[in-house]
């Protein structure tokens, strides 16, 4: 039995065919589902139609085609675009399950859930933790939050988008919060790597030579996360392996090295300044995990 034959529902409408939207629709088409697509620029559907999808002439037609038991997946530029597309549909959303995979904040996710509910629809908000070419792969993650009944009803269909697709809670804003957390992590890692590459570049070292060493460093830090998570949840920052003060001394080395090599110091100074807040608040002898209280604004908040 093929995977799509084992889904609970095989009628899907995809609204929005940017790079990610086309990838989402393509994952459903490859599994032989009955897929209807719509995009403001109709030509973006050409390849999907050639592969077996149905092109709708309007959003209303696309949603109607999904039927009351179908699944409507939306992936647009932002939530303003989502509202522009969905608000005119009114009661057409009544009873339908809408999965919004547009990136945005938890606040607008909850607002959109309320608007869909007011129209009689059922809403799931989602965050895609993959690039378009990774959609459908075993390691692709799509997080969904909102109505659990809608998730169980369409779980097998939604899991076609990635092997790590999962429902993470009833709060419609949770998926967006996870996405924001991961984005912050991503930029932290990328900016740290690029700053390090700039330092080494001042000595004539190519970034390609630094990359394997940096990857090992990232893996080492990743190994600390479970303990840091436990400490953060428990508020237990004692018995440190490395105190905030120890980290702070090394941060100063990074600032001075950057200055000496003519590399921008804004990033290392920001990291140092945050640690100095914790020390000033009396947490210099704690494990570095205490920095979560700086981010929570429980300690060291500037007046």
Q: Is the pTM for the entire model greater than 0.85?
A: yes
32-38-43 Cα angle (round to 5): 95
Sequence-separated contacts (24+) of 84-87 with Cβ below 8 Å: 85/15, 85/16, 85/59, 86/59, 86/115, 86/116, 86/119, 87/115
Q: Output the pLDDT for position 90.
A: 86
Q: Output the pLDDT for position 168.
A: 98
Q: Output the pLDDT for position 98.
A: 97
Distance between CA 79 and CA 88 in Å, rounded? Answer: 15
Residue 256: both structure tokens together: 């001075």
What are the pLDDT tens digits along the chain (303 aa)?
A: 344 444 455 799 999 999 999 999 999 999 999 999 999 999 999 999 999 999 999 999 999 999 888 899 999 999 999 999 999 998 999 999 999 999 999 999 999 999 999 999 999 999 999 999 999 999 999 999 999 999 999 999 999 999 999 999 999 999 999 999 999 999 999 999 999 999 999 999 999 999 999 999 999 999 999 999 999 999 999 999 999 999 999 999 999 999 999 999 999 999 999 999 999 999 999 999 999 999 999 887 665
Distance between CA 178 and CA 169 in Å, rounded? Answer: 11
Cβ–Cβ < 8 Å for 31, 4:
yes
Whose tokens are 């897929």? That residue is 35
Residue 65: both structure tokens together: 């085609």
Sequence-separated contacts (24+) of 201-205 with Cβ below 8 Å: 202/261, 202/262, 202/263, 203/261
């Amino acid at each position: 039995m093929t995977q799509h034959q084992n889904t609970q529902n095989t009628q899907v409408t995809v609204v929005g065919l940017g790079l990610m939207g086309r990838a989402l629709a393509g994952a459903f088409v490859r599994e032989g589902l009955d897929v209807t697509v719509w995009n403001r620029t109709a030509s973006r559907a050409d390849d999907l139609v050639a592969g077996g999808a149905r092109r709708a002439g309007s959003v209303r037609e696309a949603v109607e085609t999904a039927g009351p038991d179908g699944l409507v997946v939306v992936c647009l530029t932002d939530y303003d675009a989502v509202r522009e597309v969905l608000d005119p549909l009114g009661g057409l959303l009544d009873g339908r399950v809408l999965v919004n995979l547009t990136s945005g904040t938890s606040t607008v996710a909850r607002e959109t859930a309320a608007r869909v509910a007011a129209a009689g629809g059922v809403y799931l908000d989602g965050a895609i933790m993959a690039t378009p070419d990774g959609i459908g792969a075993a390691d692709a993650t799509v997080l969904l939050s909102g109505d659990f009944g809608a998730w169980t009803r369409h779980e097998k269909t939604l899991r076609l988008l990635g092997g790590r697709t999962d429902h993470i809670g009833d709060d419609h804003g949770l998926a967006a919060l996870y996405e924001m957390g991961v984005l912050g992590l991503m930029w932290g890692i990328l900016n740290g790597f690029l700053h390090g590459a700039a330092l080494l570049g001042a000595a004539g070292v190519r970034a390609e030579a630094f990359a394997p060493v940096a990857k090992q460093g990232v893996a080492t830090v990743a190994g600390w996360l479970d303990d840091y998570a436990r400490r953060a949840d428990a508020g237990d920052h004692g018995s440190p392996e490395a105190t905030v003060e120890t980290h702070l001394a090394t941060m100063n080395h990074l600032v001075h090295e950057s200055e000496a090599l003519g590399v921008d110091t804004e990033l290392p100074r920001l990291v140092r300044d945050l640690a100095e807040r914790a020390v000033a608040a009396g947490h210099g002898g704690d494990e570095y995990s205490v920095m979560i209280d700086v981010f929570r604004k429980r300690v060291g908040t500037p007046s």
